[in-house]
Amino acid sequence: MAPEEQVAAAMAPLSRRRFLRWSLLASSAAIGVGVGAASWLSRSEQDQLPLPDALQHLTQSEFLLFRRATEVLLPLSGTRLASIDTVPVLHNIDAMMGLLSQSVRKELAAGLAVFDYAALVSGWHGKRFIDLDSNEAVAYFDRWSQGNSVQRALATVIKKFVYVAYWRDPATWPAIEFDGPVSDRWGLPSLGNTPMPNETANVKKEGETQ
C-alpha cells in the first residue's frame, strides 16, 4: 500500500465518526500506521524553538504548525493588506483555542498532529508540514482539501483559524474598506426598550378565566 493510501486507510474509521472526534490514541494509531517506519524523519530543527511566553493554550508543536500555516496561507508581501508582522495572528489563534470545550480541544490537538506528521508520507514529502517549502505546503493543503472527509475537515479548520485570527484584527480592515463597528462612531442614540403595548382592553382581573 502506498504511503498516502496508508494515511487514508488509517483515517477512514475516523471519517465515520464525529468531526475531529478522534482520541489521542487514534491519532497515534494513524501516525503509527503511516509513518512509524520513518519516525526519525519526524524530528524538525524547529522543535527547538521556544514557545512564546504570551501563548497560553497552544502547545509548541501547534504553535509551529500555525506559524507555518500563517506564512503559507497569508502571502501578503507586495500587497496593500496589513502585514502579518503587524497582526497578532498566533496570539489570536491562541485565544480562540482557549474558548474550545475540553473535548473538542483534545480532538483538535490530535487532528493538528495528524496534519503535521502525515506530510512525512502524504505526497512523499518525507518531512513534516512545518518543514515544507511554500509550494509544497500549498500543494499539501490543496490535496487535503480534496481528500477524505477528515482531511477536508482539517484543512478547512486550520484555514479558518488562520483567516479569522487575521481578519478579526481591526488593523486588517482599512485595506479592504471594511467599516467595522460604526454605532459609536456615527453617534447613534439608543432607542432603549420599546414602550409597553396598550393592553388595557385585554387585561384580565386576577382570578378571571378566559
Q: What angle do CA 97, 98, 99 make, to 5 degrees?
A: 90
Least Å distance, CB 4 to other proteins, is 18
Q: How many CB atoms lie within 10 A of CB 206?
A: 4
Q: Which residues, at least 6 apart from 67, have a Cβ–Cβ distance to it below 8 Å?
A: 90, 130
Give the interface size with other proteins as a residue count (CB under 8 A).
Answer: 72
Distance (Å, rounded) from C-alpha 147 to C-alpha 207? 66
Work out whether 2 is an interface residue with other proteins (CB under 8 A). no
**Which H or E element spans position 104?**
helix 102-118
Per-residue b/e over 41-68, b at no fewer than 16 CB within 10 Å? bbebebeeeeeeeebeebeebbbbbbbb
Work out whether 91 is an interface residue with other proteins (CB under 8 A). no
Segment contacting other proteins (CB under 8 A): 30-38, 55-63, 113-121, 187-195?
187-195
Work out whether 189 is an interface residue with other proteins (CB under 8 A). yes
Least Å distance, CB 64 to other proteins, is 19
Among positions 99-138, residues that touch other proteins (CB under 8 A) are 99-101, 103-104, 134, 138
Work out whether 25 is an interface residue with other proteins (CB under 8 A). no
Among positions 135-164, residues that touch other proteins (CB under 8 A) are 138, 141-142, 145-146, 149-150, 152-153, 155-157, 159-160, 163-164
